[in-house]
Chains A and B, each alone.
Chain A
């Protein structure tokens, strides 16, 4: 028989420590939906998504019940829409966005990702038209998520794309101003974007992926946090061991759910994403893990080291537990989606500068950060360029998801509700970088030797 202690440990993780599978995401290729007539293309896209993922939600719910493990989200990611062949105008792309939204409603999923483009080296006409359509697309849809990759360690940084994204983010904030600029919460600017990420808002079905795949994103900051708390004042070697063992257990559960979902949906298994993804719920915070390690408040000195240790140990524990790992795999530090991060910002312990430093050692980047609504395009571009440079120079994924909340300033906050949470508006530097951004062109790829 399975050990009583082990059984009760699992039950405790689910009941008291918020252990869950964060998402089952089905990736669907839309290459074969190409065509010249936009209405035909929209019909093909709708039909393909709704038939491919017809049973996604019901299978997710069945697994949830049988295994007793909560599966929070069931989602779909698609081929970057700018790569679905045809000649489309920005208005045509908005039609496709509405189609994706309609498909998401039909399936009963809360987000659909892939409304995006890869422009790290340059723009195709389609990519430019799609990007131009993003503000409207995000303002007339509810569940569509968009991402644009503007840089990679091999291609360098497309600064024209960075400049364009500053404008697009501002426009999106304006067009969704009646809803606290929520459009920006569904728009991510990436460097080195992973092509198999199951987490929103940056999920899409990569160019080298199979026709359909099922990937799983695990979670469990609460479980790691409790394990560290129980361990007391141990040394770092032991601390790393505890995190590894906990990550192993969490990931094994994710792998089991992924295998089961793949079998029941008759769709190949893609990857397990080993991310520690927080939610605004009490006891589900990455910031609290760092605080349990001994940092008084997340953002204080020592935070970056603590996060580096956490991120590395999570990956080491998770890799052995899964047959195939991918996606963003690491600790997420979204401000609005993490109760501990929100508290740290509100009490002044955590600044944007410290968050930027933290992103050099963990997954993703400046995520779900609300900034003043009157922030200039150039400053937003500067934030993007800084963050993207960290990713490009360190050969890792980084991303920016900032919300210039229309009509709000430092001291105010935005409340999105649900998983997207609540965010105090953060203070930015008063100095501009307008002349720097106005140069345009390309920042060359960094040299990968002479690493200093």
Chain B
């Protein structure tokens, strides 16, 4: 299963490093990444393969959300099917 991780918030140093090291720590494999900075806002979208993660997916979701709260960012990890079903016929 693949998950889509979105990071939205004010731009700050080291955001990508923090999020990707959390994913790596839990055994997630980053397969795609894109980011954009619009004025002071930062938006990053990462697709990660979560078949081999060492914790339940729900735990990873919560850990990433917590990482977001600590850094003033909104970080969400969601099953990719939600986007596929809503935006593709």
Contacts and interface: CB of A to CB of B under 8 A. Distances in A.
Which 8 A/B pairs are nearest by Cβ-Cβ distance? Answer: A68-B78, A6-B87, A65-B58, A256-B85, A252-B85, A2-B83, A249-B86, A67-B79
A67 B77 CA distance: 8
Interface string A66-98: 111100000000000000000000000000000
Given A7-B6, A10-B87, A67 B82 contact: yes
Contacts of A65: 57-58, 61-62
B53 to A, nearest CB: 12
A66 B47 contact: no
Nearest to B34: A4
B6 A8 contact: yes
A238 to B, nearest CB: 20
Contacts, number: 67
A249 B87 contact: yes
A395 to B, nearest CB: 31
Contacts of B36: 4
Nearest to A8: B43
A237 interface: no
Interface string A1-32: 11110111111000100000000000000000
A7 to B, nearest CB: 6
A321 B61 CA distance: 28
Interface string B60-74: 011000000000001
Nearest to B31: A1
Nearest to A1: B32
A62 interface: yes
Given A66-B57, A67-B79, A68-B77, A2 B85 contact: no
Contacts of A249: 86-87
B79 A10 contact: no
B85 A7 contact: no
B67 to A, nearest CB: 15
Contact of B76 (A6, A9, A68, A252): A68
A256 B82 contact: yes
A11 B87 contact: no
Contacts of A1: 32, 34, 47
B23 interface: no
Given A7-B6, A249-B87, 16 more contacts: A1-B32, A3-B87, A4-B36, A6-B86, A8-B45, A10-B82, A10-B87, A11-B8, A65-B61, A67-B81, A68-B76, A68-B79, A68-B82, A69-B82, A252-B85, A256-B85
Central interface residue in A8, A66, A252, A253, by most chain B CB within 10 Å = A66
A252 B86 contact: yes
Contacts of A303: none
A377 to B, nearest CB: 49
A6 B80 CA distance: 12
A253 B87 contact: no
Contacts of B76: 11, 68
Interface in A287-306: none
A255 interface: yes
Nearest to B47: A1
A247 B62 CA distance: 29
Contacts of A8: 6, 8, 43, 45
Interface string A231-270: 0000000000000000001001101100000000000000
A1 B84 CA distance: 10
A417 to B, nearest CB: 28
B58 to A, nearest CB: 4
Contacts of B57: 65-66
B58 A4 contact: no
A19 to B, nearest CB: 10
Central interface residue in A2, A8, A256, by most chain B CB within 10 Å = A2
Given A2-B87, A10-B83, A252-B86, A62 B45 contact: no
A66 B79 contact: yes
A62 B49 CA distance: 19
A3 B45 CA distance: 10
Nearest to B88: A2
A2 B4 contact: yes
Nearest to B4: A7
A69 B47 CA distance: 18
B3 to A, nearest CB: 8
B81 A11 contact: no
Contacts of B62: 65
